Structure 1
Amino acid sequence: MINTTKYIIVGAGLSGLTSAYELHKSGEKDFLVLDSRAKIGGRIVTENHIDLGATWFQSHHTNVNAILRELNINKFPQYTSGSSVLVYSSMAPAHYFKSDPDAPSASRISGGSSALITKLAQGFTGKIITDTTVLQIEEEGNYIKVSTKDKTYIAEKVVLTVPPRIISRINFFPELPTNLIGTMKNTHTWMSNAIKVGLKFKEPFWKQKDLSGTVIGQVGAVTELYDHCNSDNNDYSLMGFVNEALRDLTAKERKNKILSYLSKYLGEEIMDYTFYYEKDWSKDVNTSCKTIKSIYMSPTYGDSLFADTYFNGKLIFSGTETSPVYGGYMDGAIYSGKLAAKKLLDS
């Protein structure tokens, strides 16, 4: 059976859902969103109030702030009061410091980052098809044929919002330009090498000890940790990033090292956690690939090749890695999603 629609958006992450939201808002109803995952959201994942994917944004991220206002979703500042911990040497005691209260503060989304995903999609959930991996995209005259394992879709235009490296797995007929394929394969996928950890507690013991919950580890098991209590301050957790050197350990060994490290710098109360979560994004086949590369400096995103259209204007690239504005951030995903929708609506 062949399914026909005007537009297809590949990827139900923040960029793809932003495009779909803009189409829906404009009155355009003839579109579908296809996603390989079982759930929408892409690299925005909130488990039991803990954000294991995209988390923070700042005041200069105008696209995030604007869409939160439009959707009537609240934000709140990242908690930084009290002493933070800098671990700079395994041979020296930790350095305790306090954040500058006048420094720009990062913000979080009330209800977790997934609250944005839920609100964006609520008007067109029936147009989202999950557990659907695109295998082939073929130009056929004035249309594009999109093939999955068991279905074929025909559309006038297609927007690709998943990471460029993941897009390079799709078979294209005719083939895309060689320089574009090379750029896709060499564009780092945001979060693809990260391991995140989250712990929940009955009480925010670190606040009671005048600690911010922030740990910056230049050595050791955890590279960054932050307070992750909710906006109502009645759900208590810590969340951060694990040293990638622990990836090859067993889950039990890694957990023991993380808990031992945090106990040393925040206190034995760490062992009183009620829930423990890990998310190794390198194991996520829809985000990472077999040969991941750790990136410790901000990679370059928004290559000009992604601004072009292909298949005679019928194939559009989007997604945070393609954005010339804050690429790799939620802001870049929203910017690119709005831009892709504009390209569709203006055509």
Structure 2
Amino acid sequence: MKTIHSKYVIVGAGLSGLTTAYSLIENGEEDFIILEARDRIGGRILTKDGIDLGATWFQDHHVNLSKLLDTLSIHKFEQYSKGKSVLVYNTMAPAHYFESQHNGPSAYRIADGSIAVINKLANKLEGKIHLKSIVTSINECDDKISLTTNGKTYFAEKSIITLPPKLASEMDFSPELPKSLLQTMKFTHTWMSNAIKVGILFNKPFWKEKDFSGTVIGQVGSVIELYDHCDHKENTFALMGFINEGLRETKAKIRQEKVLDYLTKYLGEEVKSYTAYFEKDWSKDPQTSCENLKSVYMSPQYGNEIYNEWHCNGKLLFSGTETSPMYGGYLDGAVYSGLNAAKKLLNKELV
């Protein structure tokens, strides 16, 4: 088995892991490797043909992400919400239409899709990211920590694990992790793991022409939330939202028909003139979910203080949005945890 030595090993090339890596580079540390199980970077950020099928929105109080966007010269724009929105109480009753209220905090999207942040971070990390590298075991050995993947063993002084804690708990650790930590990991809900996202492209934003916002909130029916997803340049026209989890095991073709029929009922026949249709069921993604999941309707508890501690005698730290005490389960939580991990590795404030 091939062995590779590096000062630091970061597991996961999502927003948290790449933020840590970028921060290391910016602070003069280049002796590290990133191991990513997927054949792509981004983790739960996934943008396809301009549609964000993963993490999408943020707000003004998400200052860590906002600062990172400014640093990377990436623009934001406000989520479109003008016009009539649809509220569905009962699929057998007429829809209830309402005007969106603008007295709450604004929701923003990232220009060119959330993947723009990932790509900008990765541009600084050429040669550092190893794709298709699934870490199966982590072992403490004397003054090093070793991570075994498919055919390779990596040795490092310290390692940062940015996977969802529930997923990371499936790895083999030697010595075993403390029971209190392992139990916390197993019971930390994985952000996005229940979501079935849908994105639909069109030749024109017909809903705007009909004075609809594109927002459909369904307490019942095939789609539980839908929003306008046109790009900031107004040359990509799309709707994006979340499919009812009750359709998870429905055949894909039938599920698509149900979604389109449902939206046609409330937005009009123009729905069926779509040009492309995309779905992403995150519960079926083995690098996000490790078991059959039931919905978590109460607010998940993120940022357990146990994640802020070093383990394996100061060689192993868990990171990622679920570990963040600030806005866990959001893009901002991923950035915060990534910055925090870099500070802990360097043992100093970042420049």
What does residue 190 of structure 1 align with?
191
What does residue 272 of structure 1 align with?
273
Q: 2:131 is matched by which residue type in structure 1?
A: T
Q: Deviations over 1:251-288 (max 9, x none)?
A: 11101100000000000100000000000111100001
What does residue 130 of structure 2 align with?
129
Residue 39 (structure 1) aligned with residue 40 (structure 2): yes
Aligned residues of 2:283 and 2:292 also touching (Cα < 8 A): no
SS in 2 for 1:230: coil
User: 2:146 and 2:104 mapped to 1: Cα distance?
Assistant: 51
User: 1:211 and 1:61 mapped to 2: Cα distance?
Assistant: 28
Q: 1:34 is matched by which residue type in structure 2?
A: L
SS in 1 for 2:70: helix
What is the alpha-carbon root mean square deviation over aligned residues? 0.9
User: 1:125 and 1:319 mapped to 2: Cα distance?
Assistant: 22
What does residue 69 of structure 2 align with?
68
What does residue 50 of structure 2 align with?
49
Q: Deviations over 1:33-54 (max 9, x none)?
A: 0010000000000000000000
State the shift of 1:90 in Å: 2.5
User: 2:55 and 2:253 mapped to 1: Cα distance?
Assistant: 25
Give matches, 1:196-345, under 5 Å: 196-345=197-346
What does residue 95 of structure 1 align with?
96
Taking only the aligned residue pairs, the percentage that are identical comes to 59
Q: Deviations over 1:125-147 (max 9, x none)?
A: 31000100001111111110111
Aligned residues of 2:3 and 2:153 also touching (Cα < 8 A): yes
User: 1:119 and 1:90 mapped to 2: Cα distance?
Assistant: 44
Q: Deviations over 1:299-347 (max 9, x none)?
A: 1101111111101111011000001100000000000000000000017
Give matches, 1:97-176, under 5 Å: 97-176=98-177
What does residue 179 of structure 1 align with?
180
User: 2:226 and 2:240 mapped to 1: Cα distance?
Assistant: 6
User: 2:330 and 2:291 mapped to 1: Cα distance?
Assistant: 23
TM-score (norm 2): 0.98
User: 1:57 and 1:106 mapped to 2: Cα distance?
Assistant: 6
Q: Deviations over 1:100-119 (max 9, x none)?
A: 23332100000000000000
User: 2:42 and 2:82 mapped to 1: Cα distance?
Assistant: 31
Q: 2:125 is matched by which residue type in structure 1?
A: F
Give matches, 1:5-24, under 5 Å: 5-24=6-25
User: 1:296 and 1:40 mapped to 2: Cα distance?
Assistant: 29
Question: Where do 5+ consecutive residues of structure 2 fail to align?
Answer: none
SS in 2 for 1:181: helix
User: 1:202 and 1:282 mapped to 2: Cα distance?
Assistant: 30
Q: Deviations over 1:235-261 (max 9, x none)?
A: 100000000001111011101100000
Q: Deviations over 1:6-48 (max 9, x none)?
A: 0000000000000000001111010000010000000000000
State the shift of 1:221 in Å: 0.2
User: 1:49 and 1:99 mapped to 2: Cα distance?
Assistant: 25
What does residue 28 of structure 2 align with?
27
SS in 2 for 1:149: coil
User: 1:58 and 1:298 mapped to 2: Cα distance?
Assistant: 18
State the shift of 1:298 in Å: 2.1
Q: How many positions carry a matched residue from both structures?
A: 347
State the shift of 1:59 in Å: 0.3
User: 1:262 and 1:135 mapped to 2: Cα distance?
Assistant: 43
